[in-house]
Structures are given as structure tokens and as C-alpha cells.
């Protein structure tokens, strides 16, 4: 190789000339493209690191601008991993379906297509890895799951990974999710503003444990701005047998004189109805997500934005060559917005 003068900024073309390859090959290798062989990638990356190559931020911005002005051809796939026992139930949830649509739109912008891969009875984790490896897929999105899948010995170290939400305990990857603390604080503030005084939180004990008590944390933080005489204890439904939930809620409402409920439990309206408690005449109701609940007041978690940001994070990991379980955990929280609805009318009017 011809020696280069010191203290100069190396370009892709400089590296390509020194290694006897095209500058396009260098660019794809540094972006971890599956179109470049692993040995050549390693050779290019090693030399780029040796000469201290750094991307030109102005050229990077120009390339991003040009990409945004064009319609890139779809070149590779991003995998959406569905390990639900009944796979079709995943996107039956409007929230999770919106994750898909947000990620799909963002993927297309970068020249990817989003594909669902189902793991379970017909496809084992080992078989999934074989399929993904054969097709050169290196980026995985992990949507929420109701049950922790048995991933067996799936080689996470071969892939760039992003989770949606906290329901998956494993793999412990970077994640994008709704800001449950901020959303709960926002909801309590909006409910109080509309003339309610005694606002209670109903949640599942299981969800408290999964989410690190984030709904509860937001609720308790919100209570700091409420007179202590109006504080209402959290109602964790998991502490009661299924057949006693409706009566337990009714007793909790009566004991603490609850006039408004904030909840992430979809069955709360039915439980109230069983006890003859009318919404909103007897108690008002708002929910953590207005998409998948029998209530129209509460929080819009902006799930399409969550899906879009998840894909953006994954794309950055792919381009950075970051694979496997991270040593430093990263999470992006998307704040929601309040939505007025008939289940929580404004009492100030």
C-alpha cells in the first residue's frame, strides 16, 4: 500500500484505493451491509480504524437529504419476531399494530422492508436463526409478548436488537416504549383539572412487577400535588381472586369515595357494570391507552411514533455494527397526549 501523508482526513475513496476495492464496497462494509462478505468487512473496518477514518458530517447530512428526497429501492429485510402462542393475536391489538405500521414506514425510508417471522410450533429458534442467516437479515424488532417465550440458545450476538415495551424480560436489549410515569402524571393532572378530586389507579399486580411499578410511580408522584386527605391507595387487581375482582373494586370505590379511575386494565368497565356502577354517572373512567380499552378518555401513547423510533434506533445499531445484548442498556421513552372523552366528562361545565 502507498504510504499516505500524516494529519490528513481519509475518505471512503482513499480507503478503497489503498485496498483495491470500490468506494461503494467500503461504504457498505462500514454500514454492515449483508452484501459484503465478512472477511472483506473485517479487512475494511480494520484498515479504516488504523488510519483513523471518520465520516464527514457534511457529506453524511447531504446523503441523508438525498435519501429523503428519493424513494429508495427495497434492498434488505428487518425481522419482526412474533412468538405469541396464537400469532394472529399480536396485531389484533391496535396499539401493537400501530407499532408495526410506524416501523414499516420508517423501514421503507431507509430501503428496508419489515417482515414478520413467527416462532413456535412450526419454527424453532434454531430454525429461525438458519432462515435469518441465509437471508442476511441482521436487524430484529421484538414486539410486546404476553408470555415470555423460550428462546432456547438463540444467538442474539449475531443480531442488532430493539424491544418494544418491557413485557419481554429476555433478551435484555435496548428498548423503545411509552413513558408510563410521565403519561400517568399527565392523566392525573388532566383529571383533576376537569373537576374530580378523588382519583384512583387500578392496575394488575403482574403489570406492576413487569414495568417496575412505573404506573404506580407516576401516580404517587402526581399525588404530591394533591392534598393528603384526597389521596387514594392503588388498587392492584392481582391481589384478588378472579371471581372477587368486581366486588373488591366496588368496595374500594365506596371506602375511598373514588370519583374517577385511571387504569390499564381493559376489563374494568365490565367489572364496574357487574356491580351496577355506571360510567360516567357514578364514577368517571380514563385509560392508559385509548386504542385498546372500552373507554374513550385517557392517553394516546402515540404508538406509530414508538414504532418509527424503534426502527430508527435499530437502523443506528445496524449502521454502527452493534450486535447482541448491550453492556450499557439504553431506552427511549415517548410521551403521550391527553384525549378528552365521554367516559370522563368535564365537571367544570
Average pLDDT of span 299-311: 98
pLDDT in tens, 245-257: 999 999 999 999 9
Contacts of 114 (CB under 8 A, 6+ apart): 77, 78, 80, 100, 103, 104, 107, 141, 311
Q: What is the mean pLDDT of residues 138-150?
A: 94
Q: What is the mean pLDDT of residues 229-244?
A: 85
Mean pLDDT of 165-169: 90
With cell 391481589, the residue in question is: 239
Mean pLDDT of 30-49: 79
Phi, psi for residue 248 in degrees, rounded to 5: -65, -40
CATH code of domain 180-301 = 3.40.50.2300
Q: What is the mean pLDDT of the chain?
A: 88
For residue 66, the model assigns a pLDDT of: 56
CATH number belonging to the domain at 12-69, selected among 1.10.150.530, 1.10.260.40, 3.40.50.620, 3.40.50.10860 = 1.10.260.40
pLDDT, residue 238, reads: 75
Residues sharing a CB contact under 8 Å with residue 171, sequence separation 6 or more, in sequence order: 142, 151, 156, 161, 163, 325
Q: What is the 3-state secondary structure (H, E, C) of the chain?
A: CCCCCCCCCCCHHHHHHHHCCCHHHHHHHHCCCCCCCHHHHHHHHHHHHHCCCCCCHHHHHHHHHHHHHCCCCCCEEEEEEECCCCHHHHHHCHHHHHHHHHHHHHHHHCCEEEEEEECCCCCCHHHHHHHHHHCCCCEEEECCCCCCCCCCCCCHHHCEEEEECCCCCCCCCCEEEECHHHHHHHHHHHHHHCCCCCEEEEECHHHHHHCCCHHHHHHHHHHHHCCHHHCCCCEEHHHCCHHHHHHHHHHHHHHHCCCEEEECCCCHHHHHHHCCCCCCCCCEEEECCCCCCCCCCEEECCHHHHHHHHHHHHHHHHHHCCCCCCCCCCEEEECCEEECCCCCCCCCC
Distance CA 45, CA 23 (A): 13
Please report the pLDDT score of residue 208 as a whole number: 45
CA-to-CA distance for 134 and 132, rounded, in angstroms? 6
The pLDDT-based confidence of 74 (bands split at 50, 70, 90) is very low
At residue 312 the predicted structure's pLDDT band, cuts being 50, 70 and 90, is very high
CA angle 162, 163, 164 (to 5 degrees): 130
Residue 24 pLDDT level (bands cut at 50, 70, 90): confident
Better pLDDT: 34 or 322: 322
- In the chain, CATH 3.40.50.2300 covers 76-178+304-335, 180-301
Query: Which residue did the predictor score with more confidence, 46 or 2?
Result: 46
Q: What is the pLDDT of residues 85-143, one digit of tens each?
A: 999 999 999 999 999 999 999 999 888 999 999 998 889 999 999 999 999 999 999 99
Cell of 294: 372500552
Q: How many residues does the chain have?
A: 349
What's the CATH architecture for 76-178+304-335? Answer: 3-Layer(aba) Sandwich (3.40)
Q: Would you say 199 and 218 are in contact if contact means Cβ atoms under 8 Å apart?
A: no
Average pLDDT over residues 321-326: 93
* Mean pLDDT, range 232-239, rounded to an integer: 87
- Out of 211-220, 257-266, 278-287, which region has the weakest mean confidence (pLDDT)? 211-220
> What global pTM score does this model have?
0.79
**Over residues 58-63, mean pLDDT:** 50
Q: What confidence score (pLDDT) does residue 93 get?
A: 95
Q: In the structure, what pLDDT confidence band is assigned to residue 44 with cuts at 50, 70 and 90?
A: confident
329 band by pLDDT with thresholds 50, 70 and 90: very high
Where does CATH 1.10.260.40 sit in the chain? 12-69
Q: Please give the pLDDT value at position 300.
A: 97
Q: Is the pLDDT of residue 10 over 90?
A: no
Amino acid at each position: 500500500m502507498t504510504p499516505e501523508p500524516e494529519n490528513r482526513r481519509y475518505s471512503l475513496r482513499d480507503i478503497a484505493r489503498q485496498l483495491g476495492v470500490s468506494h461503494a464496497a467500503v461504504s457498505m462494509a462500514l454500514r454492515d451491509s449483508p452484501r459484503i462478505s465478512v472477511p472483506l468487512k473485517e479487512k475494511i473496518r480494520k484498515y479504516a480504524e488504523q488510519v483513523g477514518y471518520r465520516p464527514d458530517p457534511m457529506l453524511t447530512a447531504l446523503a441523508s437529504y438525498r435519501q429523503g428526497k428519493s424513494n429508495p429501492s427495497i434492498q434488505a429485510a428487518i425481522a419482526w419476531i412474533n412468538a405469541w402462542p396464537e400469532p394472529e393475536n399480536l396485531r389484533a391489538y391496535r396499539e401493537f399494530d400501530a407499532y408495526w405500521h410506524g416501523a414499516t414506514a420508517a423501514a421503507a425510508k431507509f430501503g428496508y422492508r419489515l417482515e414478520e417471522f413467527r416462532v413456535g410450533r412450526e419454527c424453532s429458534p434454531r430454525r429461525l436463526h438458519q432462515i435469518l442467516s441465509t437471508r442476511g437479515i441482521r436487524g430484529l424488532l421484538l414486539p410486546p409478548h404476553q408470555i415470555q417465550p423460550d428462546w432456547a440458545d438463540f444467538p442474539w450476538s449475531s443480531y442488532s436488537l430493539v424491544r418494544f415495551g418491557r413485557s419481554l424480560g429476555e433478551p435484555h436489549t435496548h428498548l423503545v416504549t411509552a413513558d408510563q410515569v410521565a403519561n400517568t402524571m399527565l392523566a392525573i393532572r388532566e383529571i383533576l383539572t376537569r373537576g374530580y378530586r378523588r382519583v384512583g389507579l387500578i392496575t394488575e399486580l403482574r403489570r406492576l412487577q413487569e414495568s417496575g411499578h412505573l404506573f404506580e410511580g407516576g401516580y404517587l408522584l402526581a399525588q404530591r400535588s394533591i392534598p393528603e386527605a384526597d389521596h387514594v391507595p392503588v388498587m392492584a387487581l392481582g391481589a384478588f381472586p378472579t371471581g372477587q375482582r368486581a366486588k373488591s373494586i366496588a368496595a374500594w370505590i365506596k371506602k375511598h369515595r373514588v370519583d374517577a379511575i385511571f387504569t390499564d386494565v381493559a376489563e374494568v368497565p365490565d367489572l364496574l357494570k357487574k356491580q351496577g356502577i355506571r360510567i360516567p354517572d357514578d364514577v368517571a373512567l380514563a385509560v392508559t391507552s385509548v386504542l385498546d380499552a372500552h373507554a374513550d378518555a385517557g392517553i394516546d401513547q402515540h404508538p406509530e411514533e414508538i414504532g418509527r423510533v424503534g426502527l430508527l434506533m435499530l437502523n443506528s445499531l445496524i449502521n454502527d455494527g452493534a450486535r447482541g445484548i448491550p453492556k450499557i442498556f439504553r431506552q427511549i421513552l415517548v410521551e403521550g397526549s391527553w384525549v378528552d372523552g365521554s367516559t370522563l366528562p368535564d365537571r367544570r361545565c
